[in-house]
Amino acid sequence: MKWCGSKVPFQGNMLGIAAFAVLQGGLAHAVSLPPPTGEYHVGVSKHTIEHYNPRDVLAPDNISTAFIATIYYPTLQEPGSDPQPYLEPELAAIIEAEWNYTSGFLSTVTSTLQYDAPFLEGPAGESRFPTLLFGPGGGGPPVSGNTILISELVSHGYTVVGLDHPFEQPFLRYPNGTGVEGVEIDYTDAELLQGIYNTRLADTNAFLDYFPKLVEKLGAPFSTTHIGSFGYSLGGAAAVGSLYGDDRLVSGLNLDGGLYGPRANLNDSSADTKKPVLFLGNEVHTGEDAIHDITWGTFPPWQTAYFGKFTINGTTHHDFCDDTFWKTIEPTDPTTGPIDGNRQVAITNAYVKAFLDFALLGQGSPILDGPSAEWPEVVFYDGSV
């Protein structure tokens, strides 16, 4: 498993320079991400969250002092006529090299994101739409590599806050312009992986503590009381793990992540989150044995609130981030499955939104209750492994 299963160190400033050079000459031929389907456009605001963590397994001397929160929010402002690349050039260059894409390809993919666009009108800290916390895959891609799904949810009114931790991701840029390089990570080291997972939980808790103050400071109409968590890969595992003992989180959604932590991966009643949870993953995640991610088999029977488990035929791990769309333009990454990328985008958007609308807005959907003729690729599990 590339990226989420292995890690390459940052290659230095030459990658960013090369990517920028290609970027300058290639935007005329750029491809844009699929546009979201909702009534709202997507604004973006980036923030440094100060948090002292003396047990950060990736930081120098195991001490980190901050992480990055990127807030994606609905706005009525129309995008301009000059779309911008949605990935940092340094990040795009690293992914291109690691995932066999042509140099400069990802650097010129654009989106309709609008940085610091005006908020919707409304009192600070209040909204008829819930807020969602999103966690990216372990080692990447960072939050920005999941822009398609996040933008779709925002276009329907949700505010999504993506949390990126420095040193874990290959490249991150703080709001002040400082770039942070990733470190090399051995994802076969179970103790190290557990430490990264623990940092994810600590970041989530720290952000939830600070979020009301940030919203008040921004004067933003974001809900601070009705919050769901979701994530991809390790971020999905942490989204579920964060549910335990924290009443600020209403529900959890796991995109293709195996479970970690002292409770979620246990085969007893302590695994019960007592909150709505959805698992959506590739066809390997049947949960029948260790080869098929046993945690997807042991976790479901203990849930007393709504639980849904769905797998999608023709997918592999990278089909649950933006890579599934990238392959429709240049199909060179062997870590995606044969499913058509645009179809996978539509399926993921439909099931994630249906669950969130149900869990956070009380709106039911038949696709959560059984097989769907509209989405025959999706396998529904009725409670048995």
Helix/strand/coil for 179: strand
Residue 151 lies in a domain: yes
Query: Domain range spanning residue 150?
Result: 13-381
3-state SS assignment for residue 385: coil
Residue 226 tokens, joined: 């009705």
- pTM of the complete model: 0.92
Contact 237, 264 (CB under 8 A): yes
Give pLDDT tens digits along the chain (385 positions): 344 433 333 333 334 434 444 444 444 467 999 999 999 999 999 999 999 999 999 999 999 999 999 999 999 999 988 888 999 999 999 999 988 889 999 999 999 999 999 999 988 877 889 999 999 999 889 999 999 999 999 999 999 999 999 999 999 999 999 999 899 899 889 999 999 999 999 999 999 999 999 999 999 999 999 999 999 999 999 999 999 989 999 999 999 999 988 788 788 899 999 999 999 999 999 999 989 999 999 999 999 999 999 999 999 999 999 999 999 999 888 889 999 999 999 999 999 999 999 999 999 999 999 999 999 999 999 865 5
Total domains, the chain: 1
- Residue 2 falls inside a structural domain: no
Q: What does the angle CA 194 – CA 196 – CA 198 come to, to the nearest 5 degrees?
A: 70
Does 36 reside within a domain? yes
Could you tell me the two tokens for 82? 């000059």
Tell me how far apart the alpha carbons of residues 195 and 168 are, in angstroms, rounded to a whole number.
11
- Pair type for strands 249-255 and 227-232: parallel
Asked if residue 5 is part of any domain, the answer here is: no
CATH number at residue 344: 3.40.50.1820
Q: Which residues of 334-365 are buried (b: 16+ CB within 10 A; e: fewer)?
A: ebbbebebeebbbbbbbbbbbbbbbbbeeeee
Domain assignment of residue 104, yes or no: yes
Q: Considering the domain boundaries, does residue 44 fall inside one?
A: yes
| CA nearest to 360, candidates 132, 35, 178 | 132
Query: Which residues, at least 6 apart from 161, have a Cβ–Cβ distance to it below 8 Å?
Result: 69, 70, 71, 72, 131, 132, 133, 134, 207, 211
Q: Which residue has the tokens 């090369």?
A: 18
Pairing of strands 249-255, 277-282: parallel
Return the beta strands (E) in 5-123 as ranges.
Answer: 41-53, 64-75, 84-85, 110-111, 114-115
